[in-house]
Structure 1
């Protein structure tokens, strides 16, 4: 079957959650360079609005821990940009706590932001994403969607669940030309990871470089942190018409972590 392609006058629209910093911002900027109109979703803070405005991105202020904000985010994107063709579920955060001491409210928030919200956004966007016959859902999971690390119970649980959601949604969407895929990066040099490196250097008595090599990258074949642009380059391909035959895929960008 010949796959539909956008008309010469039609510009595809993307919504990227967590899109004003780190991986999300890199993906938003790359999709913009690819010719898409892009909205970025983040907590409604002045700095997030500034980042979006400086880059010509539509800004959607929302709290993904709130069901009604998930619905509103889709509606506002469609109103602002005229449709929705690509949904990138990227927003997330980490919280370090052992299982026995994990705060229940933090668990609830992390699972909602990183697992329930991708489900709800996909649900609310479904009719728009399937309209063109070439819609895309890209879930930014993690190598922790495959493997576990101590003190990350909610994060690891959410990322494992996100892979399951990806595969299930892909099976349901196939006949409508909507592809659903997950990207699983290893450690990426983002502000969040830089903060973790500094914390571990302080608590372990190591230099930041030693934390990278001896702690974070110890299981990896390539001893180098990824850059956000590396993840964005893969997302660019998955979002493109050329990737029409890829769905239900879990794409590891993990420096060889799972090759063992």
Structure 2
């Protein structure tokens, strides 16, 4: 338990971020989630309120630097400091499109959220943590970022970039009380992955899911709560000597390739 610690979860309205928000709230953290959808945010707030776990929401477009700066300022105004940050926001637009067929404006839009947005979050989170003299950040990458994936060139490039940002920041701030790590997520049962199943085979999404399971040694799709457990461990003082780490949580999928 880390009662009283303040955690900001960017992208906390869906998928892994949502699960992390719920688990953190249950463990006594002061939880603030950020995202673009007020409707999704209200669902997260309501489901946790029923359990007696308060969660706060700040509407933010992470591709906008001023909004990200304001986000961090508001969290500090609410709770006095920012102990932990999980940057989980991502766009799944463009999946299934081959590299030469991606339009320039689509590239800019995807990278604006999936990479620039994560950099902006880190930028202002780290500035606050430097003032405090401590803090911990976990960025959500993907096993796609370890190499690449057919039909996901831009998404994979962004996720690879997140790993480079993570490792660079970890080295830059290691002696200033700030740890920065990444989670390389495999297949988790999130709205994004369900969308991939449908886009790949609208007539029979379950067939795509079975294909995914067949190449995962555990033969199952992970639950977002399993990712959340890893994220909260990396953030916590239990991982006090861990920084610059890319933790792979994928049911063993990438184990034969690394």
What are the superposed Cα offsets for residues 194-237 of structure 1, whole Å, 9 maximum, x if unpaired?
2222333336xx560x32232x2343222100000000010111
Q: Is the 8 A contact 1:40 1:59 kept in 2?
A: yes
State the partner residue of 1:223: 219
Distance 1:150 1:180 in 2: 29
Instruction: Give the Å deviation of 1:167.
Output: 0.4
Instruction: Give the counterpart of 1:30 among 13, 18, 23.
Output: 23
User: How does the TM-score come out when normalised to structure 1?
Assistant: 0.89
Instruction: Give the counterpart of 1:76 among 74, 85, 94.
Output: 74
State the partner residue of 1:52: 45
State the partner residue of 1:39: 32
- Over the aligned positions, Cα root-mean-square deviation in angstroms equals 1.9
Instruction: Give the Å deviation of 1:50.
Output: 4.3
State the partner residue of 1:61: 59
Distance 2:124 2:99 in 1: 33
Distance 1:256 1:51 in 2: 30
Instruction: Give the Å deviation of 1:134.
Output: 4.1
Once superposed, which parts of structure 1, at least 4 consecutive aligned residues long, lie more than 3 Å away?
130-134
Instruction: Give the Å deviation of 1:132.
Output: 4.9
Q: Is the 8 A contact 2:81 2:132 kept in 1?
A: no
State the partner residue of 1:135: 135
Counting only pairs closer than 5 Å after superposition, residues 110-259 of structure 1 correspond to structure 2 as: 110-202=110-202, 206=204, 208=206, 210-214=207-211, 216-259=212-255
Q: 1:256 to 1:114 in 2, by over 3 A?
A: same
Unaligned runs of 5+ in 2: 49-53
Distance 1:39 1:139 in 2: 16
- 1:246 partner SS: coil
State the partner residue of 1:90: 88
What are the superposed Cα offsets for residues 25-51 of structure 1, whole Å, 9 maximum, x if unpaired?
101111122221011001043342343
Distance 1:123 1:218 in 2: 40
Distance 2:66 2:131 in 1: 23
Distance 1:134 1:230 in 2: 26
Q: Is the 8 A contact 1:134 1:244 kept in 2?
A: no
Distance 1:53 1:46 in 2: 11
Q: 1:207 to 1:49 in 2, by over 3 A?
A: closer
State the partner residue of 2:51: none
User: How does the TM-score come out when normalised to structure 2?
Assistant: 0.89
Structure 1, 13-22 or 106-115: larger mean CA deviation: 106-115
Instruction: Give the Å deviation of 1:239.
Output: 1.4
